[in-house]
Structure 1
Amino acid sequence: MTVPTTPHRPAAPAPARLGGPLAIIFWCACGITALPLAGLFSLVAGLGVGGAKAVLFDSFAGAGLPQQVLRLGLVPQVILFVWAASLVLLTVMKARAALSLSPWLLIVWVIASTYSQFAIRDAISPDGADLSAFAALMPGLLAQAGLAAAFFGYFKEGQRPQAYYTRGSGL
């Protein structure tokens, strides 16, 4: 007696999961997004809206060195916040746009961070930035550039990001 055979149907693709390095990146982006928001909400809770606004504007206003360094230091932080918030949002939406937008925003962060670090060094050094400033900043800048390049490659070639974001909403 022979057993009747059934036509073989291809197995459905496994659902895309947020796991591995992609999950670690996602949760780090959640932390980068949550920390400034928590600080801002704490400031508002402690001082009220008017008090928080006054403290923030007073700390950024002025032409003094502390205010200049603060403004220069916040530029890369704001860009990193935008990168993290967009990555969180695009990941939750499983939006295909994350594959191209997120790596490019990180590249913008590296450029802004590089500029800000040299500008801060130039502002605080009596004779301006020199070769020693370049030597002091290069290890960190090379690490940032290397990490951004790895992230760029992971989102372009990595199996998990390709599977996760291309099975999403199509945005």
Structure 2
Amino acid sequence: MTDPDSPAAPGQSVPASGPRSKSRNTGRKNTKSSTKGPNETSTGRNAPRQSKLGGVLAVIFWCACGITALPIAGLFTLIMANGFSGLIWAVKEIFAGVTLSAQVLRLGLIPQVFLFVWGLSTVVLTVARLRQSLLAIPALLGLWVVISILCQIGIRNLMSANGAGISDIATLLPGILMQIAATAGLYGYFREAERPRLFYTR
């Protein structure tokens, strides 16, 4: 019989003790379980933060506030300078005028009106935090892009003697593509980003 405390003979291996191997396995399990905790808690902590107005969504909201406020301020400025009679005369001149300048001004104001509608709708939908905002805000901006493109081509058609040609449309193309890209980016942000989804659905 051999003494357990005696050194091992040459060529004879010493078996690993049971308690030590168990403690090592337990330590590995604890290490794995400890690495899962911060990831799970960080997701839970980010959810309330993402549900608040901030980041890119806050930039869009405050830009919509500015787009809404500027025409209203311009309207009140016109009333203060010329009175209601001057406002009525300006509206008649814009929408009933037959001169070239009146037609160009009318085509230039139509996209501004629709942009005002988009800004006002964005402010109202964001304050109300309606779920429909995820589709309505990009859709209204897409409608504005279509109307803006048609009005730009119409203005070029009025200002050219032979109508708008390929060269005229080519000069408008960079701005048109930029508007389309911005609208597509807004649609993708409202469709795929986490903050708008959490903000408008809580």
**1:119 is aligned with what amino acid?**
G
* 8 Å Cα contact 1:60-1:70 kept in structure 2: no
Residue correspondence of structure 1 range 7-46 to structure 2 within 5 A: 13-14=47-48, 16-46=51-81
In 2, Cα distance between equivalents of 1:68 and 1:51: 19
* 8 Å Cα contact 2:134-2:191 kept in structure 1: yes
Where does structure 1 lack aligned partners over 5 or more consecutive residues?
1-9
**1:57 is aligned with what amino acid?**
K
**1:141 is aligned with what amino acid?**
I
TM-score, normalised on structure 2? 0.74
Task: Report SS of the residue matched to 2:170.
Answer: helix
Residue correspondence of structure 1 range 4-153 to structure 2 within 5 A: 13-14=47-48, 16-153=51-188
Q: How many percent of aligned residue pairs carry the same amino acid? A: 49
Q: How far does residue 44 in structure 1 lie from its aligned partner after superposition?
A: 1.3
Task: Report SS of the residue matched to 1:79.
Answer: helix
Point out which structure has higher relative CO (alpha carbons under 8 A, 6+ apart).
1
> What is aligned with 1:4?
none
In 1, Cα distance between equivalents of 2:175 and 2:75: 28
Larger radius of gyration: 2
**1:120 is aligned with what amino acid?**
I
Segments of 4+ in structure 1 off by > 4 A? Answer: 10-13
Q: How far does residue 51 in structure 1 lie from its aligned partner after superposition?
A: 2.5
- Which segment is superposed worse, 44-53 or 78-87? 44-53
Where does structure 2 lack aligned partners over 5 or more consecutive residues?
1-40
Q: Which has the higher helix share?
A: 2
